Structure 1
Amino acid sequence: MLSWWQNLPSGMDPIIFTVGGFPVRWYGMMYILAFAVVYILTRYRIKNEQLPYSPAFVGDALTWAMVGVLLGGRIGYLLFYSFPEFIANPLGSIIPVSFSGGCSFSGIAGMSYHGGAIGVIIALMLFTRNRKVPFLKTIDLFITALPLGYTFGRIGNFINGELYGRVTDAAIGMYFPSAPGFALRHPSQLYEAFFEGIVLFVILWTIRKQSPYPGFLSGIYLFGYGFVRFFIEFYREPDAHLGFVFMQFSMGQLLCLAMMAAGIGVLLASKQLSLAGQRKQ
């Protein structure tokens, strides 16, 4: 059993099947599952909590969010983790199409969670302004289901054998074929899937009906994700081309500190907005 666990990554194929030479990968499928989970759980909230939103509203908002996460995730990766590549070829770095010797799909290598989060925030700001609905209430509507959807993304990373952890002597370690050397490493993707995904989902889902003001759940999510991932990063291998960015902290940890600060800022600002609204009434 222990041998099976430690060698599990070697037996996983990131490609589900191939259609006409085009590979359908687990990673892409996990993105679809993530959005499906958020859609289903949000629809459940609207129906069972009598929230003033239509089913079409959920689908429209998630369509905007999907564009935001893809563009934000890619641009964020280029800015935070691969800035020289972005400067050398801005358009080619973002668009997954190669025009060398014709036109072909070149694929996207590298996505940033923090960039994706920023992309979703911007997309939903534009969406809510277009629909003339409250921004913070809209974010809070989806935020309770988001961590569970995020779990699938990290499982996709695990199947891809990427974003693996640091070398360890612990039995929980695994051999990742794409990692340098032959050593047990922390399955940090699974740590993230559990703590940033399932645990954070349980917390937000449990307190969703006790939210004291719009923006509270969003602030808790931002701080909670940043807090949990900051410590998991101690078990995750830093990006080889960056290493430790500041002292013994990785780029991910610095971004998580900023995310925690943003979470506190959202909690304080949204509370003040709520109090100001109550005084006007």
Structure 2
Amino acid sequence: MCPVTQIFGVSISTYAIMIVIGFAAGLICAVLRRKINGIRADDLVACLFIAAAGALLGAKLFYMAQGFTSFLQLAKDTGYTFLEYFMDAGLVYYGGFIGGILFLFLAARLIKTPAWAMLDTILPSIPLMHAVGRVGCFSAGCCYGIPCDFGVFFDASPFAPHGVRLLPVQLIESACLLALFFFMLRYGKQKRPPGKILAVYLIGYGIIRFVLEFFRYDAFRGIYGVFSISQWVSLALIALGVFFWFCYPKSGQKKALV
């Protein structure tokens, strides 16, 4: 675990470095796959950067929504502003995914490129980027797992409890995401009907996240009933993935979709 990396004498967050590496790897992967769906490289790069902006915004807003009642109390007691709350807010993956997809479709519409073809080109890159990002989480000590005898200490982390061994669930999720990435890469070697690659991702990652949430220990995730917020979202996305796999598009609509 190494929250900070020294580069030419400058301290840089290892988490930030891994995010940049993950984005670069995902971009390269998408560019190499663009011909499968007939996507131009310049359109792809533009859409991916716009989607990244949407992912950042969505990840922050989702985080803020989970702690909004605490913010209201803090704002009342100390004058803490919404802008300060936004700048201090962390990132929640599901919010980032939803924001990224919405901005991707918006970008495709603005650029006038086929939205589904663009999405299918980029989708396999998402678990790759996420896998690298989870290594960043491990380095920072956030998104940590339950206490266990074979865990690791995160004593250098400002997020995790100190002096207790915690399951490195971040690395477990990273390995699962890499497996999903290679599966999607293989499945996406040829052009697929709209919604099918998305279905693979939604079902695959939904199952991964739902199961691993049982081994998470960070308190800010939010618990509603028997499941965490992320588990409820996972169940919804799995159901959506099943819909895209079996019900969309209808045979008569296939030619009309872009």
TM-score under structure 1 normalisation?
A: 0.79
State whether residues 211 and 217 of structure 1, in contact with CA within 8 Å, keep that contact through their aligned partners in structure 2. no
Q: Cα distance, 1:211 vs. partner?
A: 5.3
Q: Secondary structure of 1:17's match?
A: strand
Query: Which residue of 17, 24, 31 maps to 1:43?
Result: 31
Is residue 2:145 matched to residue 1:165? yes
The equivalent of 2:54 in structure 1 is 68
Give RMSD over aligned pairs: 2.4
In 2, the alpha carbon distance for the partners of 1:157 and 1:130 equals: 34
The equivalent of 1:263 in structure 2 is 241
The equivalent of 2:101 in structure 1 is 121
Is residue 2:227 matched to residue 1:245? no
Q: Secondary structure of 2:231's match?
A: helix
State whether residues 43 and 111 of structure 2, in contact with CA within 8 Å, keep that contact through their aligned partners in structure 1. no
Deviations 1:205-252 (A, max 9, x none): 11113554022101110111111111011111142584x3212x2222
In 2, the alpha carbon distance for the partners of 1:254 and 1:233 equals: 11
Query: Which residue of 78, 85, 97 maps to 2:64?
Result: 78
- Which shifted more, 129-138 or 199-208? 129-138
Q: Secondary structure of 1:16's match?
A: strand
In 1, the alpha carbon distance for the partners of 2:142 and 2:58 equals: 20
Q: Secondary structure of 1:119's match?
A: helix
CA 1:279–1:110 in 2, change beyond 3 Å: closer, same or farther?
closer
In 1, the alpha carbon distance for the partners of 2:47 and 2:139 equals: 29
The equivalent of 1:5 in structure 2 is none
State whether residues 22 and 130 of structure 2, in contact with CA within 8 Å, keep that contact through their aligned partners in structure 1. yes
In 1, the alpha carbon distance for the partners of 2:154 and 2:4 equals: 17
In 1, the alpha carbon distance for the partners of 2:135 and 2:165 equals: 19
The equivalent of 1:100 in structure 2 is none
CA 1:240–1:141 in 2, change beyond 3 Å: closer, same or farther?
closer
Is residue 2:168 matched to residue 1:187? yes
Q: Secondary structure of 1:24's match?
A: strand
Paired AA for residue 33 in structure 2: R
State whether residues 184 and 197 of structure 2, in contact with CA within 8 Å, keep that contact through their aligned partners in structure 1. yes
In 1, the alpha carbon distance for the partners of 2:220 and 2:189 equals: 43
CA 1:112–1:279 in 2, change beyond 3 Å: closer, same or farther?
closer
- Which shifted more, 126-135 or 83-92? 83-92
Is residue 2:22 matched to residue 1:34? yes
Question: Where in structure 1 are there 5+ consecutive unaligned residues?
Answer: 1-8, 97-107
Alignment of 1:86-101 (within 5 A): 87=72, 88=75, 89-94=81-86, 96=87
In 1, the alpha carbon distance for the partners of 2:13 and 2:237 equals: 30
Question: Where in structure 2 are there 5+ consecutive unaligned residues?
Answer: 76-80
In 2, the alpha carbon distance for the partners of 1:240 and 1:149 equals: 23
The equivalent of 1:277 in structure 2 is 254
State whether residues 154 and 162 of structure 2, in contact with CA within 8 Å, keep that contact through their aligned partners in structure 1. no
Query: Which residue of 17, 30, 46 maps to 2:6?
Result: 17
Query: Which residue of 120, 133, 152 maps to 1:174?
Result: 152
Is residue 2:198 matched to residue 1:218? yes
**What is the number of equivalent residue pairs in this alignment?**
247
The equivalent of 1:99 in structure 2 is none
CA 1:42–1:216 in 2, change beyond 3 Å: closer, same or farther?
same
Paired AA for residue 102 in structure 2: I
State whether residues 139 and 215 of structure 1, in contact with CA within 8 Å, keep that contact through their aligned partners in structure 2. no
Identity %: 31
State whether residues 143 and 217 of structure 1, in contact with CA within 8 Å, keep that contact through their aligned partners in structure 2. yes
